[in-house]
Structure 1
Amino acid sequence: MANSKQYLAWARDVLHIESQALDEIAASLNEHFVQAAEALLECTGRVVIMGMGKSGHIGRKMAATMASTGTPAFFVHPAEAAHGDLGMIVDGDVVIAISNSGENEEVTVIIPALKRKAVTLICITSKATSTMARHADIHITAAVSKEACPLGLAPTSSTTAVMGLGDALAVVLLRARSFTLNDFALSHPAGSLGKRLLLRVEDVMHAGDELPAVVSGTLLKDAIIRMSEKGLGMLAVTDQSGCLKGVFTDGDLRRLFQERDNFSGLAVDHIMHNNPKTIDAGKLATEALKHMQQNHVNGLLVTDNDNRLIGALNMHDLLKARIV
């Protein structure tokens, strides 16, 4: 019976073989890859990817990666294409068909129909003499010397190689289009990355009646009540026109209780910080997080160009927005 050392040896062997397969694919890239990249960049329609079995799974991943990185793409099942879904493919599209052998019947049977459309057919197979390769407008050879499966049957190294090839195409297109972080975020508005890239301070800050603020001269007792009501762990102090003068935090309150016993007649002005940490409403929420971390504070006040208080936010607000 195999032991833990044998399991690790087998696993490392698989990864070593698959790593070699990727090196082989990288070394084999030639002008056909360049032609494929150029055809995809010049595509006036969408990129349609198809494949059966394991190739189909890779095709779905390839389409998802391209779609999220600036290349409109979707997957069409070859068998469904032969029964009506070919109508999803229109003039100007680029079709990428994947098959290790290049002889997949579900793909080859629809090649004549594809040829009647004004589309560019890119085939990715391991055999340059296969049916799919011979009928392709552009053929990319994705051949590996060895499968990681010891029986040489289960697609392993070959599927890894084609998946890597798909990633290579997607990233080449991304870089050629100068696709940016903001572009990526627009395709992922619900994801944590999209939120981090798109949310601004004004989207998460407290404003209006939710603002924890009092005017200069407010007695400490009343200021503490106001700060407790708003629950942000801080209190802004403004002048009568709303311009920010200082800030008082729950940490300041705890230290005050340790230092003195008598608070009679004490105004919040006497204990506030005169230079509170602030941020602009238009700044990214990620910048607010960075500002808090650098200054070792849990909250920030938001001011306009005239130093008027317009908002407040704390670390909890960033946690709720999944910025942290």
Structure 2
Amino acid sequence: MPGIEQIKKPIAADIKAFEKTFKDSMHSDAPLLDRITHYIVKQKGKQMRPMFVFFAAKLCGGITESTHRGAALVELLHTATLVHDDVVDNAYERRGFFSINALWKNKIAVLVGDYLLAKGLLLSVNNNEHRLLQIVSEAVKQMSEGELLQIEKVRKMDISEDLYFDVIRQKTASLIASCCAAGAASAGADDATIEKMRLFGEKVGIAFQIKDDTFDFGTDDVGKPLGIDIKEKKVTLPLIYALNKAEKSERKRIINLVKNHQDEPAKIQQIIDFVNAKEGVFYANQKMQEYQKEAFDILHQFEAGEARTGLEQLVLYTTERKK
């Protein structure tokens, strides 16, 4: 499987131009804000979301100026939600960098998130990109609802498999879905094609999240600390499946451990061992492959070419990565 830089090659010039658009779109005349947004730009990551936008546009008619604005809009609104999430989660690190709230405290972090949301709205409204704004705003709404649904259910440890899929469809998959839909819309695609690309992105997003959830119970060095979701009392698919296979007494014991582990490594390891003994990770990987196949089935309705190949490689990268 090619690395991310290899996958990016056909749209490398567009990604480079996007970086400038994104940077310019965050500019502020307020010195403190400008300093913080420059700090954010440095944490660009793998740029998976813009890649989905550009490849989707390329597949559906071609990359336009609207595509560049769509990619910047997605990134602005997503970055705003991350800044707010770090405040909610009391997180002091993201991608190896200190979070905004760690460096500038919660009040400033919340205001920076609000500023980024406003800049995203202005970028779209000032350029009459109402369709793109509708697509991305719908994703942000779903992400918020998914997060609240998870918080509500985690408190009660009352999460079924169906509810798990509802949460990750809203919380994670909606964003990748909006990237693909925005890319298609920016290329002038009709509503049916935009919806097809949105559904493709949703399938990829669900597969991506299932894969991410399996890392919590892995036995290899996967780049994500084992048991991090357990520490946060998140109930994910491998654990749900294992609990459903367990006897009533064992299920009760494990739920009690999840609720009251006090970050003790021995207790967390017991939960990991339980999930692996019940083949929770194996089951989750099977489900992930089902969603991966559904994504490919949608994608293969489009004409073969550089854009489709790029999206195929992105799907493989997101679902077969090691970390």
Q: Same fold (TM over 0.5)?
A: no
Question: Rg bigger for which structure?
Answer: 1
Q: Which structure has more helix as a fraction of its residues? A: 2
Structure 2 length normalisation: TM-score? 0.23
Higher strand fraction (1 or 2): 1
TM-score by length of 1: 0.22
Tell me: higher relative CO, structure 1 or 2? Use CA pairs within 8 A at least 6 residues apart: 2
